[in-house]
Amino acid sequence: MAAAESLFFLDTAAILEAVNLEAARCRTAPEVVAEVRPGGATGRRLEQMLAAGLLVVAATPEGRMKVQAAAKKAGSLARLSEADVSILALSVDLAGSGELLSDDYTVLDVAKRLGIAARPVTKEGIGKTKDWAARCRGCGRRYGAGAAGTVCRVCGAEVRLVPRRG
């Protein structure tokens, strides 16, 4: 596929914020579309993009598994929504045919780890990837990344994901 024909894979922020994109060259996932509230300016923007040729394509289970494995290895799986996993998986499925547009740092991080061409829409991009670990906000006890969002068994405070130290 020629460079002029390359695709853009859009997450929610890209649908709402990216300008000057030819909608017929854009793809998104059903889970991303579901994140956009109907009505209002955001709903109208999505409707305009769909009417102009934005295609909604479901990612394969294989693509989803690759994304989940990479995010789990980085400890950032809990930071990704279903829409994030889906648009990353779609980018994996169609690798080499386009570029992922997202302002989500975790999405950009996982994309970089997977070798997916990606760039931010309105924010500054990432310089390097980050690994994440779960830690108690109260006592500082460390847990596995899957414990994020739970309660510390020692002090009862919330367990959150924090960047791992070098």
77 and 38 part of one domain = yes
CA distances from residue 23 to 9, 109, 137 in whole angstroms, order as listed: 11, 25, 44
Structural domain boundaries, residue 144 = 132-163
**124 inside domain:** no
Return averaged pLDDT per consecutive 10 residues of the chain, 166 residues in all.
73 87 94 90 91 96 96 88 96 93 92 93 66 82 79 86 70
Residues 85 and 67: beta-carbon distance below 8 Å: yes
Q: How far apart are CA 108 and CA 128, in angstroms?
A: 10
Q: Rounded to two decimals, what is the model's pTM?
A: 0.74
CA distances from residue 69 to 4, 62, 78, 91, 160 in whole angstroms, order as listed: 32, 11, 12, 15, 20
97 and 145 part of one domain = no
Q: Alpha carbon 85 to chain centroid distance?
A: 6
- Structural domains of the chain, count: 2
Q: How far apart are CA 137 and CA 3, in angstroms?
A: 47
43 and 113 part of one domain = yes
